[in-house]
Amino acid sequence: MSFGFSVGDIILCSQIAYRLFSSVTDGRKKASRDLKELEDTLFGLYCALNHLKRDHELILAKASTKPGDNTGQVHVQLGYMIKSCLETLEELDNATREYREAATKFARPEIGNQFGIMGQSSSKPAKKPLKVQWKRVLWDLRGESLSKYRTKLQSHTDAINLLLSTSIWLDEILQEASQFNNNVFQLVQALYASITISQPPPAFGSHGLMHSVRPQTYGPIAPPDSGQGPAIESESGGIIPGSKEIPDPTPQGLIALPLRPGAGYQKAKPPVLEHTIWQSGQYFKLPESIQAINESRRIVGKTEFEERQRQLASVQMDHRLPVPHASPPSRGAPAVDKMSRQLENIFKTLNVPEIDRMTTNDDLQTDIVAWMSKLEHLLEDLHVSPPNFDKQERNIIIGELSQLLVTLNRLIEDSQVGNRGVFYNACGSRIDHVFMQLRSLSTFCEKEIEEFEDERDDWKDDE
């Protein structure tokens, strides 16, 4: 078997993936979780194929430039990946062909059948066969089949992404590392140049204390009785006769060093400011007599507060009403049966004109919210760990819940459009959260939930 490939194979895989991605949940606002996961997987594969179509030539070119690598081997590996991906996509494409053909047929009605009686559009009657056809395909793909396709497509996506990351993105990382190394090398060169370049020493006598240091010449020393000291040469070159100053015996090399203070020298301390009245803190300290008054007031206030609390507690105990004993709520299958009867009573009341009954639509919406709360509490008991019901009782409850959903769909289909609006508006988005817990209980519950969502979508479209 030859595993050669061309860019046409990649384009074909990309087209099939996009067609399947567009048709998996097309026209279904509330698709099941499995279908949404399949849709996400197809979209990821479609994006990976587009990247591969754009960069496959670059991958082969880099494989040919590397020493010791075989371009033909990389070509064969790519061909095997594309052929395997194409087989999986064609298999899934054939499995969903009936639904897509039916969708195309109902999307393009024949001329003359676009309008029904009294000029009304016939698109709504066409939705029913389309949904039936879709559910037929959907239930054929249930279980292991749908999971198998999703796993295969995900493996193809991972393989393509791995190839792209190792051959393209890793190369970009290496280029960035090379650029970083070049920048570091230039920085080191600049530092080395700034350290090794020698600077000329400053001219003698231009800086520091050495500018005033120069050899001094002295004249002959006068006799002691002459009253004259040794003649010292002045800075201007003249001799100062009769000076009694003795030349400084300090060596000339020590003149440039800093002078150290003598033994008796002390650093001058900053003047100490006298403490003012505010700094002494005497205004923050109250007299003892005032402190005693404050303490006695605090004790009296605490005692009165505690006494007032005891008085209020005794008054509340005297006026407390007796709490009636409430019967425990029904649990398990009896609770589901009770909810089914309540649901039938709600729709039975809705079918009566509002002017002929004592209950308003607002009251019925309150009853619908209470009914939904009971259903939510029951589902929480089913999902709690450790379970509140044994295995046999749990199976019975799940069966009763399935029948409850059947009853709900039947009552909605038999009711008028306005009555459906009362029920849908009362439920709101909360019922979606309840149905999310119901989906995981059984496949039959999921099927009934999908029918409920389809009817609700049709009602929204008609509204």
Beta bridge partners, 382, equal: none
> How high is the pLDDT of residue 180?
92
Q: Which of 185, 216, 238 is the last residue of a domain?
A: 185
Dist. CA 108–CA 131, nearest whole Å: 16
- Separation of alpha carbons 382 and 180, rounded Å: 59
Give the model's pLDDT for residue 184: 92
In a domain, 100, yes or no: yes
pLDDT for the residue 327: 46
Per-residue pLDDT of the chain (463 residues; tens, 9 = 90+): 444 566 777 788 888 888 777 776 655 555 567 777 878 888 888 888 888 888 777 777 766 655 555 566 777 778 888 888 888 888 888 877 766 665 556 555 544 444 444 444 444 555 555 565 555 555 555 555 777 888 888 888 888 888 877 777 767 787 888 889 999 999 998 888 888 865 555 555 544 444 444 545 444 544 544 455 444 444 444 544 554 444 555 454 444 445 555 555 555 555 544 444 444 444 567 788 888 888 888 888 888 888 888 877 766 554 454 444 444 445 566 788 888 888 899 998 888 887 877 788 888 889 999 998 888 888 888 877 667 777 788 888 888 888 888 899 899 888 888 888 889 888 888 888 888 888 877 777 888 888 888 888 888 888 7
CA 189 – CA 178 distance, rounded (Å): 16
Q: Which domain holds residue 53?
A: 7-108+123-185
Structural domain ending residue among the three candidates 138, 157, 185: 185
For the residues of 395-461, what is the DSSP string, one character each? HHHHHHHHHHHHHHHHHHHHS-HHHHHHHHHHHTTHHHHHHHHHHTT-HHHHHHHHHHHHHHHHHHH
Tokens 């988005």 belong to which residue? 429
> Is the preceding peptide bond at 386 cis, omega within 30 degrees of 0?
yes
Q: How far apart are CA 96 and CA 139, in angstroms?
A: 11
In a domain, 96, yes or no: yes
For residues 188 and 180, the answer to whether their CB atoms sit within 8 Å is no
Contact assessment for residue 394 and residue 382, using Cβ atoms and an 8 Å cutoff: yes
Q: Is the torsion defined by CA of 174, 179, 184, 189 positive or negative? A: positive
Query: Is residue 431 domain-resident?
Result: yes
Tokens 């709520």, located at residue? 329
- pLDDT score of 451: 86
With contact defined as beta carbons under 8 Å apart, do 5 and 83 qualify? yes
Length of the chain measured in residues: 463
Nearest to 350 by CA among 342, 338, 341, 359: 359
In a domain, residue 159? The reply is yes
Do 102 and 130 meet the contact criterion of CB atoms below 8 Å apart? yes
41 contacts 154 by C-beta, under 8 angstroms: yes
The number of domains in the chain is 2
Q: What angle do CA 214, 219, 221 make, to 5 degrees?
A: 125
DSSP bridge partners of 121: 115
The answer as to whether 302 is a domain residue is no
On whether residue 137 sits in a domain, the answer given is: yes
425 found inside a domain:
yes
Q: How many helices (H) and strands (E) does the chain have?
A: 15, 2
Contact between 38 and 24 under an 8 Å Cβ cutoff? The reply is yes
Is residue 447 within 8 Å of 136, Cβ to Cβ? no
- C-alpha closest to that of 49 among 80, 3, 92, 12: 12
- Confidence (pLDDT) at 132: 54
On whether residue 134 sits in a domain, the answer given is: yes
164/62 Cα distance (integer angstroms): 12
Could you say which of 165, 185, 205 is where a domain stops?
A: 185
Nearest to 79 by CA among 19, 167, 15, 8: 8
Question: Which pLDDT does position 428 carry in this prediction?
Answer: 86
